A and B are shown apart, each in its own frame.
Chain A
Amino acid sequence: MTDLESKLTAEIANLLDDKKVDVFIAFKKAESPLHPQPAFFTESNQLGDFVYNSLCQNNLAAFIPRYPLSARIGMVVRGCENRAVNHLVVEKQHARENIFMIGVPCEGLVDWHKLVNRFGEEMIAVDEAKDEIMISYRDRQIRAPRQELLHDSCLRCVHPNPLSADVTIGELKPEGDPTLARTEVAAFSALDNAARHAWFRKEAERCIRCYACREACPMCYCTECFVDHGVPRWTESTVSPAGMRAWHIVRAFHQAGRCVSCGACERACPMDIKMTYLTEKLNEDMRTKYQFECGMDDKTQPPFAAFNLDDKNRFEL
């Protein structure tokens, strides 16, 4: 157990023993070291399995809308999870006073796709130091620099620090560089229409419609998704070109002004489909057109909900 993990365990145990939270959402060990599993702790004696490292890839804020508003929830939050919680509070999915957040400045998540592509699947343990990842096999250990294994959305992360956590453990990290964060989507936008469309088709056609991206996303909390509607059938729900493209377009567009750039959708995808080139474009537009960045506080409404007559001259007539 790392130093951070023991500090967190002590903190969580206190919260559960003092009955300050009803449930604490965190991670526990699973069979594969690559995929720690979301866990819901209600008693402090369950915390033996608790784990917190760079492979905890889910955005646990996704579970918040499933609880009633009165449930008191505890969470360990990184920068992106904190922003997701903030935005869920804006959308009235939970009450801020019923969420207790333990903030941890984030070093960036290790992308398991990258790890497996490079080192195979036979590893028995993955440990980490500040800048290094140690991968242990039965007979040997390999070290690799963390920077090379970070998930793409963590490489361009701008706000790694929790913004409004109740307690913060660990040293704050320097903010990311916003210009660097935008280079990727700017490069994509600079391509011509045909090239952009070809890229989109290539990504979308690998989709198997498992909806893991939807389940992983903290903002996809609709009780009935448009693809699950039978009557009216909004779009083809089979693995057809029309259906797959419609899914990718509309899933991304529903995140306009609501995406916190955590990248949980991409990490959840079993087909390694890139999706953030869509949502980052929308985030970029929301920044430039409406000066809005999602989750920076728990009051500001997103642009599509905050229209008013000042918009009068915004668009062509």
Chain B
Amino acid sequence: MIDHKPKIILFQCQWCLYSAEDQTWVDTQLPVNIHLVKVPCTGRINTLYVLNAVQGGADGVMISGCLPEQCHFKEGNLGARRQLDQFADFLDHIGYERNRVRFTWLDLQDRGRIQRDLAQFEADLTKMPKSEALATRVGGHHD
């Protein structure tokens, strides 16, 4: 159990939130324990970004992107899905639990889903112990 709120890094494709209210909420009203990294497309997310988040002590990483047919750049998300999903499996292989990396592929018509998914993710992470595997730069100190 975590006694404080889990630290979450949200990688968000700038096109996946079609609804202006949702985007405004993400841009301005995110809870302080959620750190937003906006990217032009999920295809832009290098696995090193995810790794740096994990090494920086993130309890969870959430990646939000568009559904397969709805990518702004036609197929950026297809490559990202293969790579990032595999990277999450690979991190699990060396001890960073698989359910700490979560994807939310948003339909253009979804409203309020990002809030729901983040809340659910936070609730799930709160039930898990604090992430220690791979976290090496917590609080700016090395172990």
Q: Which residues of A contact B (CB under 8 A)?
A: 188-189, 193-194, 196-198, 200, 226, 234-235, 240-242, 245-246, 249-250, 252-253, 256, 278, 281-282, 285, 289, 303-304, 307-309, 311-312, 314-317
How far is A193 from B75 in the complex, measured between Cα atoms in Å? 34
Complex A-B: 12 CB contacts under 8 Å:
A193-B92, A197-B95, A197-B133, A197-B134, A200-B95, A226-B48, A234-B48, A235-B52, A249-B94, A285-B86, A308-B75, A309-B69
Q: Which of B11-19, B22-30, B31-39, B76-84 contacts A (4 or more CB under 8 A)?
A: B76-84
CB neighbours of B142 from chain A (8 A): 240-242
How far is A196 from B134 in the complex, measured between Cα atoms in Å? 12
How far is A279 from B76 in the complex, measured between Cα atoms in Å? 25
Question: Once the chains bind, are A241 and B82 in contact (CB under 8 Å)?
Answer: no
Question: Once the chains bind, are B52 and A307 in contact (CB under 8 Å)?
Answer: no
Contact A256 to B86, CB < 8 A, known contacts A241-B143, A250-B48: yes
A220 → B minimal CB distance (Å): 16
B26 → A minimal CB distance (Å): 19
CB neighbours of A234 from chain B (8 A): 48, 52
CB neighbours of B137 from chain A (8 A): 242
How far is A252 from B86 in the complex, measured between Cα atoms in Å? 12
Question: Once the chains bind, are B103 and A241 in contact (CB under 8 Å)?
Answer: no
A275 → B minimal CB distance (Å): 12
Question: Once the chains bind, are B55 and A245 in contact (CB under 8 Å)?
Answer: yes
Identify the closest chain B residue to A308 (Cβ).
B78
Identify the closest chain B residue to A316 (Cβ).
B103
- Determine if B118 is an interface residue (Cβ-Cβ < 8 Å): no
Extra contacts besides A308-B75, A308-B78 (6): CB < 8 Å: A198-B95, A200-B94, A246-B52, A253-B87, A311-B78, A311-B82
Contact A278 to B78, CB < 8 A, known contacts A246-B55, A311-B68: no
How far is A193 from B92 in the complex, measured between Cα atoms in Å? 7
Contact A196 to B55, CB < 8 A, known contacts A282-B86, A304-B83: no
CB neighbours of A252 from chain B (8 A): 90
CB neighbours of B81 from chain A (8 A): 307, 311, 314-315
B80 → A minimal CB distance (Å): 9
- Determine if B116 is an interface residue (Cβ-Cβ < 8 Å): no
- Determine if B114 is an interface residue (Cβ-Cβ < 8 Å): no
Question: Once the chains bind, are A304 and B93 in contact (CB under 8 Å)?
Answer: no
Question: Once the chains bind, are B95 and A193 in contact (CB under 8 Å)?
Answer: yes
CB neighbours of B68 from chain A (8 A): 309, 311-312
Question: Once the chains bind, are A307 and B82 in contact (CB under 8 Å)?
Answer: yes
Identify the closest chain B residue to A195 (Cβ).
B95
CB neighbours of B115 from chain A (8 A): none
User: 6 smallest A-B Cβ distances: which pairs?
Assistant: A197-B95, A242-B136, A307-B78, A200-B94, A197-B133, A312-B68
Identify the closest chain B residue to A289 (Cβ).
B86
CB neighbours of A194 from chain B (8 A): 95, 133
How far is A289 from B103 in the complex, measured between Cα atoms in Å? 18
